[in-house]
Amino acid sequence: MSGALVIAVDGPAASGKGTIASRLAAHYGLPFLDTGLLYRAVGLDVITGGGDLGDPVAAEAAARALAPGRLSNDAALTTGDAGEAASRVAGFPGVRAALLDLQQAFARQPGGAVLDGRDIGTVIAPEAQAKLFVTATPEVRARRRWHQLNERGDGITYQAMLADIQRRDARDAGRGSAPMVQAVDAVLLDTTDLDIEAAFDAARRIVEAARTR
């Protein structure tokens, strides 16, 4: 890992962490993994296989059968249903264990990597040189996701989106296995009042400060 730059970007849904992480990866020329897509793929595979999202055995089996190529160019992974499915299966310890090696191997690449998710700085890459915890108020995050989904034709109301965001926050933070929590050495980045350019600039400065240290 000597000379490698590993950037861990954690935070709740619709906080902007994915966009920030992908832009940091492009800026530093590093590979990028949106780990949330892994859980979305597992959740959708359980559903399409006729399984129950509440069945930990079915979810773990789907996680162990997951091929990384499954994440490429699959529009279904970006839907609201996929996000809900991901939050359901991500709470199962067997699912998290099945996906652990894949994520840690990605983080151990010689030059480094950027990963975003819920437990990157605490579980997947606790040794990361730069750690960010990106957040925003539930109301702002719900509005962002509501606009995004409605632009694609998903007819969800703002109130339903807010309730979904709050439910997922509680589930992600309250699960017994790798709960969503800010790492003690992560820098908090609140994007509530920031557009993406300002948020990315703040994130880049956080990474630069970490590299200097």
Element (H, E) at 132: strand 130-135
| Residue appearing with tokens 């997951």 | 66
**CA distance linking residue 117 with residue 124, whole number of Å:** 9
| Highest mean pLDDT pick, 7-11, 72-76, 177-181 | 7-11
Which of the four pLDDT bands, split at 50, 70 and 90, describes residue 16? very high
38: left (phi over 0), alpha (psi -120 to 50) or beta: alpha
**CA distance linking residue 137 with residue 46, whole number of Å:** 31
**CA distance linking residue 163 with residue 188, whole number of Å:** 24
- The residue type of 98 is A
The pTM of the whole model exceeds 0.85 = yes
Sheet of 32-34, strands arranged across: 32-34, 112-117, 5-10, 130-135, 187-190
Rounded to an integer, the average pLDDT of 28-53 is: 95
pLDDT digits (tens, 9 = 90+) for 148-202: 888 888 788 999 999 999 999 998 888 888 889 999 999 999 999 999 999 999 9
Listed in sequence order, the residues at least 6 apart from 18 whose beta carbon sits closer than 8 Å to its beta carbon are 34, 36, 116
CATH number of the 5-212 domain: 3.40.50.300
> Comparing 72 with 139, which gets the higher pLDDT?
139
**CA distance linking residue 89 with residue 15, whole number of Å:** 21
Question: Residue 1 above 70 pLDDT?
Answer: no
Which of the four pLDDT bands, split at 50, 70 and 90, describes residue 74? confident
| Residue appearing with tokens 């959740």 | 43
Query: Would you state the pLDDT for residue 213?
Result: 82
